[in-house]
Structure 1
Amino acid sequence: MPVMPRGDLENQSANRIARGAFAAFIIYSAGVGLAYCSQLVIARFLAVDAYGVYAYVMAWVTVLAYFSALGFDIALLRFLPAYEAESAWPLFRGVIQYAERRALAVGILIILAGAYIVLVRDISTQLRDTFLVGLFLVPVLALLWIRSSVVRAFGGVLWAVAPNRVVREGIVIGLVSLASVGLGWSLDASRVMMATLAGAVVGLLLATLGMHKLRPHVIDSASPEYDAEVWRRAALPLVIMAAIEALLNRTGVILLGWFGDTNAAGIYSLAFNIAFVVALPLVAINTLFAPTISGLFARNEQVTLQKLITKAATWTLAASSFIGVALFVLAAELFAWFGPGYEAGVPALRILLIAQVIVAAGGSQLHVMMMTGHERSAAVLLVSSTIGNLVASAGLIGAFGLNGAAIGTAATLIIWNLAMALFLWRRLGLMAGVLAFFQVGLARTGWLLARAPPPLRRALGRLRHSFRF
């Protein structure tokens, strides 16, 4: 049988990622569009203070849901392809059962502990009721993310992304619109949280259907086996990273709400969510990129891995820059759509947009670290960055309000990505994102050094040395 040249294999791999990422991009775009529509609908039918309560509770719910997932929404993307390649079907089935059962148990504990804390604290009725409803969302989201990851490992991009992104947000829009416009109900934060819970439940049911439909049928006859020690050891840093990354993204909302300014928490939440659209191309690439990284690294295909990292970062930077510029220019008009009181978020949005475009240039650094077995180092960098964000944002909020939260988060995101880029270069010999183009440029300076006059040679040599880590 003829062997396909390496160049053809690289091109086929790159083309497959491009096609899959494009499909994921379309689905994610639809989901994000619906998410913004849902935020617009909620903001239209809720007062600023009620929306702030909703955003504050959702920030806590999201962080707790990632903790409840125990990192298996990421770990399964490593274990399932490996077990499938080895035809280790008992372990394949066992790790899915283990992940779901542990996530459900932790979610129930969070509901019980959270309800006790909320009931004994002296807080407003609206905040208490919204928390009590939101706590039930924790295990539902955790299971939804885990089952979506299982479907991703099965190769079902549509079934993995649509329930969590499109269906969940679409149901929120439908229920809130029906209740407010169709039935004339007066909505508060707790009722909107009920709609959010309903959307997540339906999304979970669809993800479950997709998992059943796309599963390898050979696992039906396999008796599950458990390698719990290995799974726990791998999942521990992943759960830390997942929960801490969620906290990093929502530090501003949580701190503003904790300091009692739920109005500013809601406005900042809108600003951060809008700015996160810039990260949409990177998220789309990561939908299929994560399993590919693990496979290329396991086969020691360093050159192919570097090429794919660079190509992916180039695609994401181009798309993110276009989106970022458009949102930067239209920031004032965009916030005006949400009604009076939200215009205070325009400066924060522009600060966050600049940071997100810079981050997009780095590419899939966190996924590269996790899929190459360096999840513990990634967790250390992420935890350090989150602690720094908490400290910086707390101080800056006191001086600049919600703009201070944006400055603290923007600076933290940039420093965190620079730290990951340094790690990837030193430990794996990989240039993060579009920085690989600088590596090509530095190689060409060697040719210039050999032919340049002595003064220019010394200047080029100093420049080349300054870019080395």
Structure 2
Amino acid sequence: ALVAAAVLVSDLVPPAFVVPFLVCAAILPVFTLSMMQDGIARSFDWVNLALVPLFVVQPVMILAVMGGLKLFDGPMDAVAALVTAGVAMWLVTLAQTLLLGRRLAGAVPPGRRRHDLRHWLAVSLPVFVVDGFFLLLFYVDILVLQLYVDPREVAIYYAASKTLSLVHFISFAVGAAVAHRFSTYHVTGEREKLEGFIADAVRWTFWPTLAFGLLLIVLGKPILMLFGPGFEAGYPLIAIIMIGLIARGAVGPAERLLNMTGQQRLCAVVYAVALATNLTLCVVLIPRQGIFGAAWATAGAVVVESLLLFLVVKRRLGLHAFVWQPRRRG
């Protein structure tokens, strides 16, 4: 379908965009397979098999190939980078498929296949909505900015916000490592273990987030200067956006906890409210404050998201998903 769409609109868009789009279309199916295998592997506590192929082996392969192209004066453009990334993803995903198949053969006894499409859709659609709203939450500011400021300011804001991607990775890494444990303790009724584990997960998220955020605040200006002259103007944005990320780290992988305990619909509502908050604040603040308005809008929306996640976890599950735990009485 994506290839057909690219062919239909090829006369309406610049040619430089068509080939990269087709390459991405060829990568999408194997990316989907990789994400599915990631989830299966983590559900069996095979974290290395889940994460190492995509997040370690593939980047190393891309760096090696692109470094070789640079060394031997090969093509260094978007198409070359996308083709390299696509081939690397196909190779690591196929290797992951073989390794996962061997492990599953020893862990899962053979039996009849059974498909429960209705139940699968009931569970997966809210999770799909959560992921969609999560992505939009961190891109709606860029989309609105393009309507009000010039491309150079958008570039400065993008450089500053994406410099903080390393901080985002802490939350992702902790969530990927612990989510299946939430489900295990919830299903087996091990309440005390679940309470202790969510407290640990929050601390594993918050303190590295705080430490790394402070480090980026210290080194933010030199990092932004690497993007080119004038990009250091985005340095104050790092501190503003960090307010939201620290608030997000203070509740740890609370959204994973909700998803893994059957509360995925409430989680979707939380992210819908956060997205609406971000969009509203962007429309109000960006025309008045430009890129700083976008930063305050994003930080405010993430603070709202974090507060709502804490309240939903507390009221629906009776768990305290916050970095500072209340004192136990008696």
Identity of aligned residues (%): 25
Match of 1:176 in 2: 66
Q: For residues 261 and 201 of structure 1, what CA distance do their matches in structure 2 show?
A: 38
Q: Residue by residue, what CA displacement relative to the aligned partner does 1:359-411 show, whole Å, maximum 9, x if unpaired?
A: 11111210111111110111111122123323333444444444333222211
Letter in 1 for 2:10: L
Asked whether the 8 Å contact 1:290–1:368 carries over to 2, the reply is: yes
Match of 2:294 in 1: 405
Alignment RMSD, CA only? 2.8
Letter in 1 for 2:251: G
Match of 1:149 in 2: 39
Q: For residues 196 and 253 of structure 1, what CA distance do their matches in structure 2 show?
A: 25
Q: Residue by residue, what CA displacement relative to the aligned partner does 1:254-298 show, whole Å, maximum 9, x if unpaired?
A: 445677966555544443333132243333322232111112222
Match of 1:162 in 2: 52
Letter in 2 for 1:134: C
1:229 matched to 2:106? The reply is no
Write the mapping of 1:15-414 to structure 2, written as runs, cut at 5 A. Answer: 109-113=1-5, 115=6, 118-119=9-10, 121=12, 123-185=13-75, 187-217=76-106, 219=108, 221-256=110-145, 264-414=153-303
Rg larger in structure = 1
Asked whether the 8 Å contact 1:151–1:210 carries over to 2, the reply is: no
Q: Quick one: structure 1 residues 221 and 430, their matched pair in 2 at CA, closer, same or farther if it must change by over 3 Å?
A: closer
- How many residues align structurally? 330
Instruction: Give 1:323 deviation, angstroms.
Output: 0.9
Asked whether the 8 Å contact 1:147–1:208 carries over to 2, the reply is: yes
Q: For residues 307 and 173 of structure 1, what CA distance do their matches in structure 2 show?
A: 40
TM-score relative to the length of structure 2:
0.87
Q: For residues 433 and 321 of structure 1, what CA distance do their matches in structure 2 show?
A: 14
| Structure 2 gap segments, 5+ residues each | none
Q: Residue by residue, what CA displacement relative to the aligned partner does 1:192-246 show, whole Å, maximum 9, x if unpaired?
A: 3333323322332232233123214364743321111111111111111122212
Asked whether the 8 Å contact 2:148–2:290 carries over to 1, the reply is: no
Instruction: Give 1:419 deviation, angstroms.
Output: 0.7
Instruction: Give 1:154 deviation, angstroms.
Output: 2.8
Q: For residues 233 and 397 of structure 1, what CA distance do their matches in structure 2 show?
A: 38
Q: For residues 181 and 289 of structure 2, what CA distance do their matches in structure 1 show?
A: 43
Q: Quick one: structure 1 residues 388 and 373, their matched pair in 2 at CA, closer, same or farther if it must change by over 3 Å?
A: same
Match of 1:422 among 290, 301, 311: 311
Asked whether the 8 Å contact 2:278–2:298 carries over to 1, the reply is: yes
Q: Quick one: structure 1 residues 142 and 406, their matched pair in 2 at CA, closer, same or farther if it must change by over 3 Å?
A: farther
Q: Quick one: structure 1 residues 141 and 176, their matched pair in 2 at CA, closer, same or farther if it must change by over 3 Å?
A: same
Asked whether the 8 Å contact 2:247–2:302 carries over to 1, the reply is: no
Letter in 1 for 2:203: T
Asked whether the 8 Å contact 2:247–2:306 carries over to 1, the reply is: no
Asked whether the 8 Å contact 1:276–1:356 carries over to 2, the reply is: no
Say which SS state the counterpart of residue 92 (structure 2) adopts: helix
Q: For residues 32 and 248 of structure 2, what CA distance do their matches in structure 1 show?
A: 27
Asked whether the 8 Å contact 2:258–2:264 carries over to 1, the reply is: yes
Asked whether the 8 Å contact 1:126–1:190 carries over to 2, the reply is: no
Q: Residue by residue, what CA displacement relative to the aligned partner does 1:153-187 show, whole Å, maximum 9, x if unpaired?
A: 232211211111112222332333333342253x3
Q: For residues 103 and 272 of structure 2, what CA distance do their matches in structure 1 show?
A: 36
Say which SS state the counterpart of residue 10 (structure 2) adopts: helix
Say which SS state the counterpart of residue 393 (structure 1) adopts: helix
Q: Residue by residue, what CA displacement relative to the aligned partner does 1:95-151 show, whole Å, maximum 9, x if unpaired?
A: xxxxxxxxxxxxxx34544x2575354x44434443343333332322211111112
Q: For residues 131 and 234 of structure 1, what CA distance do their matches in structure 2 show?
A: 31
Match of 1:93 in 2: none
Say which SS state the counterpart of residue 433 (structure 1) adopts: coil
Match of 1:440 among 317, 327, 330: 327
